[in-house]
Amino acid sequence: MSGDLKQLQQKLQLAFQNKQLLKQAFTHASYVNEHRFSQHEDNERLEFLGDAVLELTVSEHLYRIFPDRPEGELTKLRAAIVCEPSLVKFAENLEFGKYVLLGKGEELTGGRTRPALLADVFESFVGALYLDQGLEAVTTFLHSQIFSQIMLDGKLQTTDYKTELQELTQHHNMGVLEYRIVEERGPAHEREFVSEVFMEGQGLGRGTGRSKKEAEQQAAAVALERLKQSEQKPL
């Protein structure tokens, strides 16, 4: 694994001073549970820290590049960047999944590609980088690896699926939308919500997320795809 992490650092043009921090960022709790007598630490505390660091750095970035946007718009833009689907995309683009230390059970059940796990690893990496090299290093990393992906011609490339679905159904007078949380699963630190969107009582799409809002966004995305495939006609 250490060789892999050396490769990752070269790819990202980073050099961690504390290699143990970097390793911890990619150590899942399932691995620690299977190696109880080792000195491994899982990445959950780093994930907690990385989440806060991301909120701050993304907020500052948006504040600077959109000087005329009101607080409400900036909040929506930030939410679109730090939501699970975006973090998963960032982690996938950087191939973070292949560096994670997993327990055998988690490995066998496809944990390496599980969205929630990938989003957590990305946050953990940010937390580790912050502890190792400070906020400036995190900002540099995000600018080179992340912000360049979501900015095009001065516009933020984000999608609010709920708003898009609402506009589509209203435009075609399809009916009233309703979102329901139909299931909650997983332990407290990895809670997953399942949301379903209904139109006039008929289910249109189902999605999952680490928060109710993320689950609703994913449900709306599924519903949008379904409506578009049916040529935007009521089902």
Instruction: DSSP for 105-174, please give it.
Output: HHHHTTGGG-HHHHHHHHHHHHHHHHHHH-HHHHHHHHIIIIIHHHEETTEE----HHHHHHHHHHHTT-
Q: Point out the catalytic residue in the list 42, 51, 120, 216.
A: 51
CA distance 47 to 189: 11
The question of whether 123 is a catalytic residue gets the answer yes
- The CA distances from residue 227 to 90, 123, 172, 173, 205, in Å, are 28, 34, 11, 13, 10
Query: Nearest to residue 125, comparing CAs of 203, 53, 214, 199?
Result: 53
**Three-state DSSP class for 206?**
strand
- The CA distances from residue 15 to 6, 9, 18, 127, in Å, are 8, 6, 9, 15
Query: Nearest to residue 214, comparing CAs of 106, 83, 111?
Result: 83
Residue recorded with tokens 């690896």 = 145
The question of whether 4 is a catalytic residue gets the answer no
CA angle 29, 144, 12 (to 5 degrees): 50
Q: Point out the catalytic residue in the list 47, 106, 123, 216.
A: 123
CA distance 29 to 43: 7
The catalytic residue positions are 51, 123
